[in-house]
């Protein structure tokens, strides 16, 4: 389990992206910064993210439209989105953000420690989810191995019941192969 959580930072202003990267520095997360909604959607085709920090107001495709596309995709619909905006504290914008699937909506200037705390929670949840997936895969593999072994034991028992001159030798050969994974 060496994969590190990633945060997708989406803002059309490079200085805002640099500020977000600085805020997240020191957290167990790799920041991936892009400057448009289109670039974010492309990035989401190849990488998995623990959280998305999304500017609400961008040219061409704004954050609301970007979020809408993200939530429509099976692969990305469960990634938490935190909207960040310099807009005034218009409640309608916040409601619009929640309506397209955001988990939170922060207006600038926001407290960087609050943002760090929120990102930390989503990174921790992502990490736990990755651990659960890994444990589920290991459990599935153990179950498959168990089924193969019991199948071999059943086959060895069938050979012994059938009897015959070489039954014991054949049954032992089956069990030895199963023991060594052949």
Using 50, 70 and 90 to split pLDDT, how confident is the model at 107? Answer: confident
User: Reduced to 3 states, what is the DSSP secondary structure of residue 6?
Assistant: strand
Q: Are residues 140 and 110 in the same domain?
A: no
Do residues 20 and 33 touch, judged by C-beta distance below 8 A?
yes
Do residues 115 and 31 touch, judged by C-beta distance below 8 A?
no
Using 50, 70 and 90 to split pLDDT, how confident is the model at 11? Answer: very high
How many domains in the chain? 2
pTM of the model: 0.75
Average pLDDT for 62-87: 91
CATH number at residue 105: 3.40.50.2300
Domain boundary (119, 134, 149) is at 134
In this predicted structure, what is the pLDDT of residue 119? 96
Q: Are residues 56 and 145 in the same domain?
A: no
Q: Are residues 166 and 87 in the same domain?
A: no
Q: Are residues 127 and 170 in the same domain?
A: no
Do residues 125 and 50 touch, judged by C-beta distance below 8 A?
yes
pLDDT digit string, tens, across residues 129-176? 989 988 888 899 889 888 888 888 887 777 777 777 787 887 777 777
Residues 6+ positions from 84 with CB-CB distance below 8 Å? 11, 16, 20, 53, 54, 55, 56, 106, 107, 108, 110, 115
Q: Are residues 127 and 141 in the same domain?
A: no
Residue 2 pLDDT greater than 70, yes or no: no
Q: Are residues 151 and 91 in the same domain?
A: no
Mean pLDDT, the chain, integer: 87
In a domain, 1, yes or no: no
> Domain span at residue 148?
135-180
In this predicted structure, what is the pLDDT of residue 95? 77
The one-character DSSP state at 125 is H
Q: Are residues 176 and 101 in the same domain?
A: no
More confident residue, 26 or 171: 26
Using 50, 70 and 90 to split pLDDT, how confident is the model at 18? Answer: very high
Q: Using the structure block, give the residue that is written with the tokens 């993210």.
A: 49
Q: Are residues 173 and 157 in the same domain?
A: yes
Q: Are residues 119 and 143 in the same domain?
A: no
- The span from the CA of 19 to the CA of 176, in Å, is 62
Least confident of 82-86, 118-122, 162-166: 162-166
């Amino acid at each position: 389990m060496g994969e590190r959580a990633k945060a997708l930072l989406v803002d059309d202003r490079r200085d805002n992206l640099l500020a977000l990267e600085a805020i997240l520095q020191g957290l167990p997360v790799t920041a991936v910064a892009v400057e448009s909604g289109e670039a974010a959607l492309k990035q989401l085709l190849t990488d998995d993210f623990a959280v998305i920090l999304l500017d609400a107001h961008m040219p061409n495709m704004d954050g609301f439209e970007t979020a809408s596309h993200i939530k429509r995709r099976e692969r990305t619909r469960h990634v938490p989105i935190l909207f960040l905006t310099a807009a005034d504290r218009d409640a309608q914008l916040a409601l619009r953000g929640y309506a397209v699937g955001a988990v939170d909506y922060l207006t600038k200037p926001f407290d960087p420690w609050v943002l760090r705390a929120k990102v930390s929670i989503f990174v921790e949840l992502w990490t736990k989810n990755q651990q659960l997936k890994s444990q589920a895969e290991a459990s599935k593999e153990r179950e498959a191995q168990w089924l193969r072994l019991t199948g071999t034991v059943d086959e060895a028992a069938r050979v012994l019941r059938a009897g015959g001159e070489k039954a014991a030798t054949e049954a032992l050969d089956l069990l030895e192969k199963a023991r060594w994974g052949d």
